[in-house]
Amino acid sequence: MPQNAAAALASDHSHDFAWGAVPEGAGRWRFRIWAPSAHAAAVQLGDRTEPMTKGADGFFEARLSAQVGDSYGFLVDGAFIPDPAARRQTGGVHDASTLADPAGYRWTTPWAGRPWHEAVVYELHIGTFTEEGTFRAARTKLAEIAELGFTAIEIMPVASFPGQRGWGYDGVLLFAPHAAYGTPEDMQAFVEAAQAVGLMVFLDVVYNHFGSEGAYLAPDFFHSEKHTPWGRAIDFSQPAVRQFFTDNALMWLRDYRLDGLRFDAVHEIIDDTHPAFMVELGQTVRGLDLGRPIHLILEDERNVTFLRDTGLYDAEWNDDFHHSVHVLLTGENHGHLAPVAVDPMADLLLALRDGQVRQGQDRGKASPPGEASGHLPPTAFVNAIQTHDQIGNRPQGERLITLVPQEATETAYAMLMLCPFIPMIFMGDEAGETTPFYFFADYSGELAEMTREGRVAEFGSPSGGTAPPDPIAPSTFRASRLQEADAAHAAHWRALTRELLGLRAAHVVPLLAGGAQANAEVVQTGPRSVRATWAFEEKKLTLHVNLGAVPDQEPDRAGALFSLRDTGTDPYALSIEVSGL
């Protein structure tokens, strides 16, 4: 057993959590909640009501005898609320919380992690990944994902949210895994099973807003004047607020042995402090000793690079790559795709060369300005041709394979897997899944009706066709589960996936070690064809790709390691070559 693998069985317990109920040993627990404007608070522990003492920092605290499984909550100025930092929520988001100690899980399998440059990411939604929609059921599919060549899974948010079903981006009890998916121990066993077959596990976390129902946080937690698309902005100038999210990130990494976090829409975190919260959080995480590398991934529509430049964050989701490929293949030109539709081929060339497309050019009001990104290594970009957003935020939730010829999807898929950027797919892509992935939620009353109306208003069909399905209907959720109706079709796609990822592991990944830089030369060879070459220290990687037409001159394919159809004669084709400089 490697030395660091043995160390990975233990956790770094140096962090003192400020929020919630934390065991202190010998049956004693410390309860804390931040409510600076409240006059009084108490712990409701089963039938007991125990007073809390308010400190100068606005935290109320009590130390009490209790045990795992006890029901509890807080009385704040007489009003009962669940613990905003509950580690387990057995009932709904308005119900009492349940005492839990995630740090007490007994890990039996050593795990030393994997370096970032090896990442091939499989994004999944626990609720629709299997018929049962649970952590336990999802465990049964992990070995197959690893066998195909994926090295990481990225789980859409699992923090407790209202109702039974949803995407998870409306979480309100951020420390408690959603009860419909299973217990904290179920999630930890899922993580351990993934790592046992060599898969890193990343979790999508949402630190820019809370859901509209069930967020029992003090009014002081939010700005009085600043707003995001979801309401009052979170006030990151408050030390207790920063500590809440730092506690949350470190709990997932330490107690659930995650390999990293993906931070949702950080462009919506309104923060004028210095250092900015995201910088401070990155520094805190990098100061941990968990016996394995930790990887931090951003979603940031601003296309800025400073968080990656610091070395605190590994990579950022790169929607620019998706948009250029999608528009080139589908011809769609509505909404946020309109600037891309001006010249999608030029955008693709830039994405293959520099990673980001939007780098400060004037591309219309729909596009943020961005910054130059060519100085970053290819591994600083997570590329995809489909994600939960890009499928689910279509009115009918269609996957790319249902919009274009299969040959087109295969070629884009092969390009994604063999480029030196970090590739990510959405669950089912590896089997050519055609089932839609819709937006769905489980609200009631006015919130349900507002969600229905908002969905039609924001994502109604751009061509005036059928309106999106009812997001609240259980049938919409059920229709989003993976189906895999055609066994032969699925087998073909799995074979292609296995071959592509074998090629990537053998020939592309070794070039990327240590965040290696690449000198990129990207040339348009025809109306819809491109030759991209990335020169690394000792070798160069070359792709010839046709995305709808053959090149003007037949390419030299003599040294090709792999060809998907014939790049000289087929409109959708690809070849790869790795050679010395």
Is 262 labelled a binding residue? yes
Q: Per the structure block, which two tokens stand in for 180?
A: 């419909």
Q: Per the structure block, which two tokens stand in for 269?
A: 């975190």
Strand duo 28-34 + 41-45: pairing = unpaired
Per the document, the length of the chain is 581
Is 190 labelled a binding residue? no
**Does residue 264 carry a catalytic annotation?**
yes
Residues 6+ apart with CB under 8 A from 110: 1, 5, 6, 8, 9
Is 320 labelled a binding residue? yes
Q: Which of 118, 123, 264, 430 is catalytic?
A: 264
Cα–Cα dist 60/44, whole Å: 13
Q: Which helix (H) or strand (E) holds 203?
A: strand 200-205
- Residues 194, 197, 200, 204: what is their CA dihedral angle, to the nearest 10 degrees? -30
Helix axes 487-503, 406-418, angle to 10 degrees: 30
Is 323 labelled a binding residue? yes
User: How many Cβ atoms sit within 10 Å of the Cβ of residue 576?
Assistant: 25
CA 557 to chain centre: 37
Q: Per the structure block, which two tokens stand in for 474?
A: 């259980």
Residues 6+ apart with CB under 8 A from 489: 431, 432
Q: Is 38 left (phi over 0), alpha (psi -120 to 50) or beta?
A: beta
Do 320 and 384 form a contact (C-beta atoms < 8 A)? no
- What are all long-range contacts of 227-232, with beta carbons under 8 Å and residues at least 24 apart? 228/268, 228/270, 229/268, 230/268
Cα–Cα dist 316/378, whole Å: 11
Residue-wise DSSP of 334-358: SGGGHHHHT-HHHHHHHHHHHS-S-
Is 390 labelled a binding residue? yes
Cα–Cα dist 100/460, whole Å: 43
Is 266 labelled a binding residue? yes
DSSP 8-state code for residue 275:
S
Do 295 and 115 form a contact (C-beta atoms < 8 A)? no
User: How many Cβ atoms sit within 10 Å of the Cβ of residue 200?
Assistant: 28
Is 552 labelled a binding residue? no
Cα–Cα dist 482/465, whole Å: 25
Cα–Cα dist 397/152, whole Å: 24
Q: Which helix (H) or strand (E) holds 572?
A: strand 572-580
Is 393 labelled a binding residue? yes
Cα–Cα dist 70/86, whole Å: 12
Is 391 labelled a binding residue? yes
- b/e map of 402-413 (b: 16 or more CB within 10 Å)? eebeebbbbbbb
Is 265 labelled a binding residue? yes
Q: Which of 123, 235, 299, 442 is catalytic?
A: 299
Is 425 labelled a binding residue? no
Radius of gyration of the chain (CA): 24
Q: Which residues are catalytic?
A: 264, 299
Binding residues for substrate: 262-267, 319-323, 388-393
Binding residues: 262-267, 319-323, 388-393
